[in-house]
């Protein structure tokens, strides 16, 4: 990996790690629905500008509705789950559990898509689950009912990412593909449409007291939509083009470290041995799941 790609990898990990900090700042004040909706709305606006500046032709090749549907699974549901979790969990918790997404993909691939699960991958999944249990039971936040529900929401989000990966391959990649920037934009638009009814209900049921909201949540929302969504997608797809999808996935290992650092630096969140042990178990599990298969001789 050249120095420029390494720099982009670290920048992407720092930005995605910061997304959990931004949700932790915005969601308790603005509410999880408003935070998730604001993220996809700003993300879609930012991606529209980027696609326009890069003069990408709107060639969806008949897959626009598919991109909208993927947006529900890949964006709307996980973003909503993470913002719900952000009202009760420190940012480091959510980031570490988010790293189980490839493990969820292994489980979903075996249970739903009949893909073979090797012994090493099965051990990896068990190790990852053990890491989540260690973090939940021994972390800095007592394992109350609200905390357990927050952890469950993060696991649902990770499962959405795992499921969405298979659907993207089946609905997009195996049917001729699509420009990744257009797929990202279509997905964000689909997420906006999916969350709009919830946002309308939220405003009708309990209007936001905007006058009581300080600058912090609004700045966090802007960063969440424009940096952690729009810019992050551009960096991620550039990495895939430069170093390949497997190496690009190594960002998964780095995001929790940055999330813990940002949480400690800005919100003064404490880290514990449970973070280290749980994170190490999940990192080892990811290595087992993501390592390339050995090449057979002959």
| 154-175 per-position pLDDT tens digit | 999 989 988 888 888 888 878 8
pLDDT of residue 210: 65
Asked whether residue 211 carries a pLDDT value surpassing 70, the answer given is no
Asked whether residue 296 carries a pLDDT value surpassing 60, the answer given is no
**For residues 133 and 148, what is the distance between their CA atoms, to the nearest angstrom?**
10
* Band of residue 298 on the pLDDT scale cut at 50, 70, 90: very low
Name residue, tokens 């993300």. 43
Name residues whose C-beta falls within 8 Å of residue 250's C-beta, 6 or more positions apart in sequence: 9, 290
pLDDT tens digits, one per residue of 134-146: 888 777 788 889 9
Buried b (16+ CB within 10 A) or exposed e, 191-226: bbebbeebbeebeeeeeeeeeeeeeebbebbbbbbb
CA-closest candidate to residue 188, choices 47, 23, 35, 86? 47
**For residues 181 and 233, what is the distance between their CA atoms, to the nearest angstrom?**
8
- The answer to whether 147 and 94 are in contact (CB under 8 A) is no
Determine which helix (DSSP H) or strand (DSSP E) holds 218, and give its type and residue range. helix 215-222
Average pLDDT, the chain: 86
pLDDT tens digits, one per residue of 62-76: 889 999 999 999 899
**For residues 271 and 25, what is the distance between their CA atoms, to the nearest angstrom?**
18
Q: What is the mean pLDDT of residues 19-42?
A: 94
Q: What is the mean pLDDT of residues 7-11?
A: 89
Instruction: Say what percent of the chain tops pLDDT 70.
Output: 94
Instruction: Say what percent of the chain tops pLDDT 90.
Output: 34
pLDDT of residue 246: 58
Q: What is the DSSP letter of 292?
A: P
pLDDT of residue 294: 56
């Amino acid at each position: 990996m050249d120095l420029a790609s390494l720099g982009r990898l670290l920048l992407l990990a720092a930005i995605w790690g910061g997304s959990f900090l931004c949700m932790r700042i915005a969601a308790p004040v603005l509410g999880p629905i408003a935070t998730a909706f604001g993220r996809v709305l700003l993300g879609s606006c930012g991606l529209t500008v980027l696609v326009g500046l890069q003069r990408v032709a709107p060639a969806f090749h008949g897959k626009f509705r598919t991109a909208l549907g993927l947006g529900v699974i890949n964006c709307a549901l996980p973003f909503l789950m993470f913002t719900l979790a952000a009202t009760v969990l420190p940012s480091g918790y959510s980031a570490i559990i988010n790293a189980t997404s490839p493990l969820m993909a292994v489980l979903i691939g075996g249970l739903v898509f009949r893909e073979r699960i090797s012994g090493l991958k099965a051990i990896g999944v068990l190790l990852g689950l053990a890491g989540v249990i260690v973090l939940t039971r021994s972390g800095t936040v007592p394992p109350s009912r609200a905390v357990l529900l927050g952890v469950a929401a993060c696991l649902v989000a990770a499962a959405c990412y795992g499921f969405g990966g298979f659907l993207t391959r089946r609905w997009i990649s195996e049917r001729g593909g699509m420009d990744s920037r257009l797929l990202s934009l279509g997905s964000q638009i689909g997420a906006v449409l999916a969350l709009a009814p919830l946002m309308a209900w939220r405003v009708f049921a309990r209007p936001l007291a905007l006058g009581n909201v300080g600058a912090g949540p609004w700045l966090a929302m802007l960063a969440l939509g424009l940096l952690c969504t729009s810019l992050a997608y551009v960096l991620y797809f550039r990495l895939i083009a430069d170093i390949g999808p497997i190496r690009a996935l190594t960002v998964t290992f780095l995001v929790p470290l940055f999330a813990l650092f940002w949480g400690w630096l800005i919100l003064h969140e404490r880290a514990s041995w449970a973070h280290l042990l749980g994170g190490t178990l999940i990192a080892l599990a990811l290595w087992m799941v993501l390592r390339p298969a050995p090449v057979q001789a002959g």
